[in-house]
Amino acid sequence: MAEARVKLVADMHFEGSSSSGHKLTMDADKESGGHNKGFRPMELLLVGFGGCSGMDVISILREKRQNVTGLETNVKGEQADSFPHIYEKVHIEYVVKGKDIQKEAIERSIQLSLEKYCSVGATLGKTAVITHSYRIVEE
């Protein structure tokens, strides 16, 4: 079972820790009573999605013996205008770096991540329309 603990540091500054022993800082902007010292909680959803799907895609590409030297995900989310400001649209772009990478391998890796493996994407997909794209940077 995954567990997290979030503790108020000061004002709107919180420190989160996980059962795996990692920590991160969250804060609000100055207009909301914070000091911009950390992630916004909703940003963490996008970071988590990029990491979750990125781990899937790189793992699958390595299994397919693709010569990948780098992978980056760029995630953008559009939130609803009204509270609770859920994500309604999320787009994830995969930037795959390497040599002679097969487009079919990338497309299949992304499909498997988004349709089968990425639990963060599956969770976001309950409220948001998720779209994706990819680019290959030949090295």
| pLDDT at position 68 | 98
Helix (H) or strand (E) holding 110: helix 103-112
| pLDDT at position 34 | 96
Q: pLDDT digits over 45-88, tens only?
A: 999 999 999 999 999 999 999 999 999 999 999 999 999 999 99
The burial class, CB within 10 Å (0-12 / 13-18 / 19+), for 23 is exposed
Q: pLDDT digits over 100-138, tens only?
A: 999 999 999 999 999 999 999 999 999 999 999 999 999
Mean pLDDT of the chain: 97
Q: pLDDT digits over 22-36, tens only?
A: 999 999 999 999 999
Kindly indicate the confidence band of residue 89, based on its pLDDT and cuts at 50, 70 and 90.
Answer: very high
Contacting residues for 103 by C-beta, under 8 A, at least 6 apart: 136
